């Protein structure tokens, strides 16, 4: 099942089906029946409003097939910073990872308490885009599961695992 070493794109949508954000180039590091791990250090990110920007630091991202979130581990000089998106489980179409972004995010920085972001955007979109009670439940369940996973330091919130995947990224990228 693994497609390690393959370059793919990652595309997030909003609940209404409109494209939210696209990462043009990420490298598959690992894949099994439960999750996918990708890495990048120079992707261009395209926003729905036409803006684009370059990724500033290396990152390892974890997408899950059964959990309502994905986790970006950014490797910075100050340590690993996690940015977690509350989102639908991912699917793959051709060479694209696809998921629906549900607004709420979790920011985790070294030696700081975790921080929930974009609660106002979530409340607005919940009404404007018509999140069903089932979707709303999955979003909240995803947030609680994610926070519990972090507090218990469960996968992938383990520094050694992040560096293991990052080293895989460097090796595969150099072979490309």
E strands, the chain, are: 7-13, 19-31, 35-40, 44-47, 52-54, 59-64, 69-76, 79-87, 91-93, 96-108, 115-117
DSSP string for residues in 42-91: S-EEEETTS-EEE--S-EEEEEESSSSEEEEEEEETTEEEEEEEEEPPPE
- Is 21 catalytic? The answer is yes
Report the relative pairing of strands 96-108 and 115-117 from DSSP bridges: antiparallel
* Residue pLDDT, tens place only, 92-133: 998 899 999 999 999 999 999 999 999 999 999 999 999 999
* Residue pLDDT, tens place only, 74-95: 999 999 999 999 999 999 998 8
Q: Where are the chain's structural domains?
A: 7-167
Return the higher-pLDDT residue of 176 and 25. 25
Residue 37 has pLDDT above 80, yes or no: yes
Q: What percent of the chain has pLDDT over 70?
A: 99
Catalytic residue among 21, 25, 124, 126: 21
Q: How far apart are CA 176 and CA 172, in angstroms?
A: 6
Reported as a pLDDT band with limits 50, 70 and 90, residue 2 is low
Q: Which residues are 73's β-sheet partners? A: 60, 82
**CATH classification code of 7-167:** 2.40.380.10
Q: How far apart are CA 42 and CA 37, in angstroms?
A: 16
* Residue pLDDT, tens place only, 154-167: 999 999 999 999 99
What's the whole-number average pLDDT of the chain? 95
């Amino acid at each position: 099942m693994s497609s390690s070493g393959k370059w793919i794109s990652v595309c997030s949508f909003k609940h209404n089906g409109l494209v939210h954000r696209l990462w043009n180039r990420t490298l598959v590091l690992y894949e099994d029946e439960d999750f996918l791990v990708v890495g990048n250090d120079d992707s261009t990110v395209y926003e729905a409003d036409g803006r684009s920007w370059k990724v500033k630091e290396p990152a390892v991202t974890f997408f899950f097939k059964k959990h309502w979130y994905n986790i970006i581990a950014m490797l910075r000089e100050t340590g690993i910073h996690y940015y977690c998106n509350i989102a639908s489980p991912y699917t793959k179409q051709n060479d694209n990872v696809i998921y629906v972004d549900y607004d709420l995010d979790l920011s985790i920085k070294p030696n700081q308490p975790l921080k929930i972001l974009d609660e106002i955007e979530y409340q607005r979109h919940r009404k404007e885009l018509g999140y069903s009670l089932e979707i709303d439940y999955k979003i909240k369940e995803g947030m609680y599961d994610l926070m519990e996973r972090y507090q218990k330091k469960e996968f992938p919130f383990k520094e050694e695992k992040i560096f293991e995947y990052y080293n895989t990224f460097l090796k595969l990228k150099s072979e490309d």
